[in-house]
């Protein structure tokens, strides 16, 4: 499921392929996407990411606001099935989305601001800190997934960051020590940056340290990785070295 790194990779690719170009064709195969017919002729001035959202900024001030949902992804050669395609003179981006939870709509700049204002802090911005965790008693793993506190982290990168920081996912967020918060902040940034560095091949190349490794030995202490449900999500951790 796309989280901040996958969305960032998509946004960078869209920026390279469509940024600065004028939209020549929009092909919609799924009426749920409800895109207006007047996008052709508009220039894509910039492609931005905030949390798990991508926005294509158009030269008339409108934004194409995109959320990849559970399986959304952009390809630049036509895949067998795609929900929509958007093309400039420089290339075409095909929106592939097997499970159909991805969303795409055209909004004004003010509407976009209102939507993005609900998001919490951006992990890759210079001022990122975890003071938001001091105000919630929820398990730290659940709090990390709350997009209103921190934007862009999902199940995979939350468990990876907690493993690296040696913090048990069930710990109440407001009980973490200053040192644990410092480690967690550092490790969130590290796992996200490392994932972004895989680039467009991320789904083929990426190997997780703890996510989806139930029963396999911890890379640090050899204790078998366990899985528990937290907030309805499968949560992987090492009972040996995550306290
Ligand atoms: Zn361990």
128-146 pLDDT tens trace: 999 999 999 999 999 999 9
pTM: 0.96
Residue 153 lies in a domain: yes
- Domain assignment present for 121: no
pLDDT tens for each residue of 174-221: 999 999 999 999 999 999 999 999 999 999 999 999 999 999 999 999
- Whether residues 72 and 145 fall in one domain: no
In terms of domains, do 78 and 153 share one?
no
For residues 10 and 61, state if they share a domain. Answer: yes
Answer yes or no: are the C-beta atoms of 209 and 158 closer than 8 Å: no
Alpha-carbon separation of residue 218 from 139, 143, 226 (angstroms): 22, 24, 10
Query: What rounded mean pLDDT belongs to the chain?
Result: 97
Instruction: State the CATH number of the domain containing residue 60.
Output: 3.20.190.10
User: Are 55 and 93 contained in the same domain?
Assistant: yes
Residue pair 131/95 in contact by the 8 Å Cβ criterion: no
Q: Which two tokens stand for residue 22?
A: 């004028």
Q: Is residue 149 included in any domain, yes or no?
A: yes
Alpha carbon of 217 to ligand 1 centroid (Å): 8
Taking the centre of ligand 1 as the mean of its atom positions, its distance from the CA of residue 165, in whole angstroms, is 11
User: Whole-angstrom Cα distance, residue 39 to residue 157?
Assistant: 35
For the segment 146-164, the average pLDDT, to the nearest whole number, is 98
Sign of the alpha-carbon torsion through 216, 219, 224, 226: negative
> By CB neighbour count within 10 A (0-12 exposed, 13-18 middle, 19+ buried), where does 168 fall?
middle
Tell me the two tokens of residue 220.
Answer: 């640090």
CA of 228 relative to ligand 1 center, distance in Å: 16
Q: Check: CB of residue 33 under 8 Å from CB of residue 72.
A: no
> Residues 36-90: pLDDT tens digits?
999 999 999 999 999 999 999 999 999 999 999 999 999 999 999 999 999 999 9
Active site residue 52: yes
Catalytic residue, from 17, 52, 141, 166: name it: 52
Q: Examine the domain organization and report whether 37 and 97 are in the same domain.
A: yes
Same domain, 88 and 143: no
Domain's final residue, options 54, 84, 116: 116
Q: Are residues 9 and 112 in the same domain?
A: yes
Domain-located, residue 84: yes
| Domain hosting residue 30, numbered range | 4-116
Q: What spacing in Å lies between the alpha carbon of 11 and ligand 1's midpoint?
A: 35
Is the confidence at residue 34, as pLDDT, over 90? no
Dihedral of alpha carbons 125, 129, 131, 133, sign: positive
3 catalytic? Reply is yes
- pLDDT recorded at residue 141: 98
């Amino acid at each position: 499921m796309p989280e901040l790194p996958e969305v960032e990779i998509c946004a960078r690719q869209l920026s390279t392929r469509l940024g600065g170009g004028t939209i020549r064709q929009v092909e919609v195969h799924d009426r749920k996407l409800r895109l207006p017919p007047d996008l052709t002729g508009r220039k894509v001035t910039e492609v931005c990411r905030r949390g798990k959202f991508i926005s294509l900024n158009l030269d008339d001030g409108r934004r194409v606001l995109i959320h990849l949902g559970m399986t959304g992804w952009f390809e630049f050669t036509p895949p067998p099935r795609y929900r929509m395609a958007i093309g400039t003179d420089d290339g075409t981006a095909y929106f592939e989305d097997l499970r159909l939870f991805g969303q795409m709509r055209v909004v004004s700049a003010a509407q976009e601001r209102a939507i993005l204002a609900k998001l919490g802090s951006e992990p890759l911005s210079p001022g990122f800190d975890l003071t938001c965790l001091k105000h919630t008693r929820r398990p730290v793993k659940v709090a990390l997934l709350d997009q209103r506190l921190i934007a862009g982290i999902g199940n995979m990168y939350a468990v990876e960051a907690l493993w690296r920081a040696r913090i048990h996912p069930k710990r109440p967020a407001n009980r973490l020590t200053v040192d644990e918060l410092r480690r967690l902040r550092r490790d969130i940034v590290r796992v996200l940056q490392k994932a972004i560095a895989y680039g467009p091949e991320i789904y083929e190349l990426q190997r997780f340290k703890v996510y989806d490794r139930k029963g396999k030995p911890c890379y640090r202490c050899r204790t078998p990785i366990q899985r528990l449900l937290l907030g309805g999500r499968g949560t992987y951790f090492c009972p040996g070295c995550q306290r």
